[in-house]
A = this chain, B = another copy of it.
Amino acid sequence: MNAIEEVARRAGVSRATVTRVVQGHRYVSAGTRARVQQVVQELDYRPSSAARTLASGRAGALGVVLGGPLDPESATWVAAVERATRLTGRALVVRTVPDGCPGSLTRAVQELAAQQVDGIALLCPSQEVDLPRLRDAAGTVPLQSAHDWEGEHNTWTSSGVLAVRHLRSVGHAVVHVVVGDPEAARAQALLRRSTVGPSTARVRVVTVGRDPAGTGPTVATALATSGASAVVAESDRTAWHLLSDLRRLGVRVPEDVALVSCGDAPGAAFSRPGLTVVRHHLAGPATRLVDGLLHGPAVRPPSAGPPDVELVVRGSCGTTAGRLAAAG
């Protein structure tokens, strides 16, 4: 006999009523509700999510597809999305696409979409993604990319503004921004507003390629010969490699070049000098992303709440230690 039916029988009601109680519906008399809940307890009744999904058409889960490995950097985002998802009572299915190539991404999205999830969050920091194509693969399942999300209010856009503004404010007229693929979503976001507004400094983009370690020396050399005095790195890993490559060239950080990076990985404080970073607070963005997936994008961009980015000053930028928050 069905679990739900057993509950119904013992409580002397119909299955429908059990469903109503379990789902917290209105229109159940207090007495009935109590009786049913009692039986639910006794029997330790747990609805089968598969049956529920099949009958309701809702999956009770969200998916996240990572266009790359689940490395410590992406983990931060995944963690935030997981939390936001859990708070809605849903499960989070994680799918990585180590090679990050378009075909694999598409397949991953299709697989997730195949009834498994109610929405898909895309986390592809380092590559260009064809959103329309992926939306198509997702069929009716909503899909949002964390990096294109919220336009000007995007975490990375705010990071760029904050980092450049800080370096500008301490006297650097030209700021070099080091990114992997300049076409990638994250880099695009980072650069979106770096060059405008009161924080204006001349910004030059320097490209590293997919692997921060790969072309490091070349980049460091380029930076050194172009006389760069201020650098923003897209990630802590890039910053670390820059740090060590620059040292190898005899360029001192922060004396000769001031360095700010984005992320604040656990080791960021422990390199020498410690990395000045733009730290990301992802609770807000992740929550909005999840809500957007579930209820459609918000009509208006977020306004209230604590800022999503914060400057943590350590040794690498050559200014006094401390913190600066900004609304981006």
Contact = CB atoms under 8 A, between A and B. Distances in A.
Interface residues of A, number: 49
B96 A86 contact: yes
A237 B266 CA distance: 7
A72 B72 contact: yes
23 contacts: A46-B114, A46-B115, A48-B114, A50-B50, A50-B53, A50-B59, A50-B116, A54-B54, A69-B79, A70-B78, A70-B82, A71-B75, A72-B72, A72-B73, A83-B96, A83-B98, A86-B96, A91-B111, A93-B93, A236-B267, A266-B267, A270-B270, A271-B271
Contacts of A270: 240, 243-244, 267, 270-271
A49 B94 contact: no
A110 interface: yes
Interface string A58-94: 0101000000011111111011001100100001111
Contacts of A299: none
Contacts of A53: 50
A268 B61 CA distance: 36
Interface in A24-41: none
A265 interface: yes
A91 B96 contact: no
A76 B75 CA distance: 9
A221 B94 CA distance: 42
A272 interface: yes
A51 interface: yes
Nearest to A76: B72
B94 A92 contact: yes
Contacts of A265: 72, 265-267
A95 interface: yes
B92 A93 contact: yes
A72 B73 CA distance: 7
A47 interface: yes
A70 B95 CA distance: 15
Interface in A92-147: 92-96, 98, 110-112, 114-116
B266 A72 contact: yes
